Amino acid sequence: MNKDLATIVADYADDAVMFTPQGPVQGKPAIEALFANVIFPMATEDFMRNMKLGRQDIVGDAVYLLWSVDGAIPMGVDTFFFKDGKIVAQGFGMYAPDAGQG
């Protein structure tokens, strides 16, 4: 996983929204904070090595990813919606039985 925040956040529209189980996160600064404080700490080398992409569907400006991490997360989902080459909305969810549902 690329952990360069500037590069990742550049893919999002200024007013993009990420829907999470804890509620929506909107705008580049909030999305950057989510990556820095939640996603990056979770995405260790071991986590990434055991990550498997189960399904990828692209229809028009929408992308659906179904993924898992052996031994930790039996199911994770990301759905992206693009406009003018930028992510305008993303839905994220995962089931991690040992860590509670997030």
Cα angle for residues 70, 35, 8 (degrees, 5° grid): 100
- CA contacts within 13 A on the Cβ side of 99: 9
Which residue is it, tokens 């952990």? 3
Q: 68: buried, middle or exposed (CB in 10 Å: 19+, 13-18, 0-12)?
A: middle
For the chain, the average pLDDT equals 91
- Cα(26)–Cα(2) distance, integer angstroms: 21
What pLDDT shows up at residue 99?
A: 61
pTM to 2 decimal places: 0.87
Tally DSSP H helices, then E strands, for the chain: 4, 7
What pLDDT shows up at residue 71?
A: 84
Give strand ranges (E) for 21-72: 23-26, 51-59, 62-69
Q: Which domains does the chain have, with CATH numbers?
A: 5-94 (3.10.450.50)
What pLDDT shows up at residue 96?
A: 86
What pLDDT shows up at residue 53?
A: 97
The tens digit of pLDDT for each residue in 31-84 reads 999 999 988 888 888 988 999 999 999 999 999 999 999 988 999 999 999 999
